[in-house]
Structure 1
């Protein structure tokens, strides 16, 4: 566990940042952008939690926030460096846990009758924002994977998480007895 005694280092004043393995790269490098978007996603989930979600989601989302730190660690280290450094990474069990959660919550909310608009309860709306940020992180990770190797479960995890966030938003509305906003294709 890192212990930070001072937040600023001045090392990034030249527009670079350090990867986990010590390499200096531009702050706008695709890898940095990707784990930055994962950090943004984690923050948006924090906002959703702060809005006061129903207990089941309030119990689940801090675990996912910790997993997003694993994912950030996974992205912050080059694949070649992972053999040298023992770091938390996204594993099959993380992807499987999201699938189990989705099955549980989907059994409660039932099938979708139409396209769902983002909204409803404040917490559900925040979860929809988290879903869209997660989709952006997934797109960036896919682009990064075209250029250099990434962890084997990074993209599957982000793919499942965006679906899970959608179902969580539906679940939040359902548990609060707030009708889901539905797309009206006739407007």
Structure 2
């Protein structure tokens, strides 16, 4: 009977550790960069604004309103309770990766900026911004984030070749961008 009791104790003490490890693996990754615009105001928990924000963020994905180019924008609500959001996935990101990134962003941004009417967050693959004012077609200068933090795939021996190929690519893209329609252009 003694070995059975010892193994039961072992399982009893091991269970919380296993639960902690498994919950850590399910958590969303931290934003490399985010900004909560405290000066833009906040909303009350349970308010119409919060309901509108949650509704808008849950609908903002490539499968719901996507144009196939990795840029999504939408608004929800009326008057002072209206929420606007934009999301952008990196150009080389596949739709399922984009969808996962935006799904994480919509959950994480409201956690790191609780009750804020305006916030922005960046992952390597995507960006999400929401506000209580129209943010479409408006040039935003703030916040300023360095976007060159991910250098995992570039070794020091590749730097010269990388910049040579990048310059060649950008030169070729200038002509292509000017000659094509209005989709997939940055201003």
Name the TM-score class by shorter chain: under 0.3
Q: When you count helix as a share of all residues, which structure comes out higher?
A: 1
Larger-gyration structure (1/2): 2
* Greater relative CO, 1 or 2 (CA 8 Å, sep 6+): 1
Q: When you count strand as a share of all residues, which structure comes out higher?
A: 2
Q: TM-score, normalised by structure 1?
A: 0.24
Q: TM-score, normalised by structure 2?
A: 0.24
